[in-house]
Amino acid sequence: MIKHFLSLASLSQIDLIGLIDRAQYFSHQLKQPHQINPILTNKIIVNAFYEPSTRTRCSFEIAAKRLGAEVINFVPENSSVKKGETVYDTLKTLESLGVEAIVLRHSDDHIVEELRPLLKVPLINAGAGKHEHPSQGLLDLLTLVQEFKTLKGLKIAVCGDIKHSRVAGSLMVAAKIFGMEIHLCGPESLVPTPQESHIIKSDFDTVLPVVDAVMMLRIQLERHENLDLNPTTYHHQFGMNHRRQLMMKKNAIILHPGPFNRGVEISDEMVEHPQSRIFKQMNNGVASRMAILEWALNRSSL
């Protein structure tokens, strides 16, 4: 059976715990990369990114190479996409050429589900549309487990452009699976109305003293038309800065999926503050994506 990795919502709690445990294992292995078993030797994986990416694309490439695979970075701008080739035809071409897995990023909300029954190799969602970013969700869960040992009962504030955030989407899915509480904060027009009891719309400053983690999100200007945003005003109302850090619990942590806009949703001094785990998240991205690739391509090793 083909193992697609399309959303956290499609996985059971047992599956997710297994992936978190495996990602934790790889996070230790990465300290001595020469000892990692190259279980994906002779496999070819393609990164097909129709949107710009640094962290996700590079960490998938590093993850694949750490496991012994070869990687092709497909660049739409230099391909037959410019001649009108559809995403389906492009991916079927890559499949026909012999790749063993496709890591896809795209702006379309529904493309991964549409492609799922049409491909004969594993499809991995590297951020499609605005609903979910499941590999980011896994690395966020790993970071939280490393910090708090458990996920159940954690309270997390998510602040920023939640309406367009697939990162927030995956976190809200995971919260339901693991019994976490999510507080949505930000500009009224960018915060959706909660549909489930574990998701609460909250005032940012009011909720800061009670949450265990704060996930800061950037305003996704590329998904807006005619958005009038004053960076200084936004930072005053919703930015993570020293004043707000002092309002947090001493053991609470600051998260951000990146890229971050310094001085807008987060101040310079907060990016590498002792309570920040932003670069730890990036580090965990490689380990988490190693676990995903192993899960999709080498199930017998688990």
Please tell me the distance from the alpha carbon of residue 55 to that of residue 208, in angstroms, as a whole number: 28
3-state secondary structure of 214: strand
Residue 56 domain flag: yes
**Does the annotation count 55 as an active-site position?**
yes
289 with 273, same domain: the answer is no
Q: Are strands 199-201 and 123-128 parallel, antiparallel or unpaired?
A: unpaired
Nearest to 138 by CA among 28, 258, 278, 15: 15
Same domain, yes or no: 159 and 91: no
Whether 2 is covered by a domain: the verdict is no
Check whether residue 236 and residue 289 sit in a common domain. Answer: no
Identify whether residues 27 and 41 lie together within a single domain: yes
State yes or no: is 183 an active-site residue. no
Which of 56, 57, 90, 106 is an active site residue? 56
User: Is residue 195 classed exposed, middle or buried when 0-12, 13-18 and 19+ CB atoms within 10 A define those classes?
Assistant: exposed
86 is catalytic: no
56 is catalytic: yes
Tens-level pLDDT at each residue, the chain (302 residues): 899 999 999 999 999 999 999 999 999 999 999 999 999 999 999 999 999 999 999 999 999 999 999 999 998 888 898 899 999 999 999 999 999 999 999 999 999 999 999 999 999 999 988 889 999 999 999 999 999 999 999 999 999 999 989 999 999 999 999 999 999 999 998 999 998 999 999 999 999 999 999 999 998 655 545 566 788 999 999 999 999 999 999 999 999 999 999 999 999 999 999 999 999 999 999 999 999 999 999 854 44
Give yes or no: residues 274 and 294 share one domain.
Answer: no
Distance from C-alpha of 72 to C-alpha of 60, rounded to nearest angstrom:
11
Identify whether residues 60 and 102 lie together within a single domain: yes
| 35 and 156 together in one domain | no
Place of tokens 């990687």: 71
Long-range contact list for 194-198, CB < 8 A, 24+ apart?
196/172
Number of domains the chain is built from: 2
Determine, yes or no, domain membership for 182: yes
**8 within domain boundaries:** no
Note whether residue 161 is domain-resident. yes
Residue 222: per-residue pLDDT? 53
- Asked whether residue 40 falls in the same domain as residue 163, the answer is no
Separation of CA 16 from chain center:
14
In a domain, 253, yes or no: yes
**pLDDT of 301:** 42
| Cα gap 109→123, rounded to integer Å | 15
Q: How far apart are CA 106 and CA 87, in angstroms?
A: 9
What beta strand segments (E) does the chain contain?
A: 44-49, 70-74, 101-106, 123-128, 155-159, 181-185, 199-201, 213-216, 253-255
Same structural domain, 127 and 143: no
- What's the pLDDT at 300? 45
In a domain, 203, yes or no: yes
pLDDT at 302: 40
- Given the residues 34, 83, 149, 152, the one annotated as active site: 83
Active site annotation includes 54: no
Which structural domain, as residue segments, surrounds residue 205? 134-278
> Do residues 280 and 140 lie in contact, with contact meaning Cβ atoms separated by under 8 Å?
no
CATH number at residue 194: 3.40.50.1370
Residues 125 and 155 in one domain: no
Annotated catalytic residue within 43, 106, 130, 133: 133
Considering the domain architecture, whether residues 125 and 152 belong to the same structural domain is answered as no
- Let me know if residue 51 belongs to a domain: yes
Among the listed residues 4, 22, 43, 105, the single catalytic one is 105
pLDDT of residue 61: 98
Based on the fold, state whether residues 46 and 178 are members of the same structural domain.
Answer: no
Q: Of the residues 55, 65, 116, 224, which is catalytic? A: 55
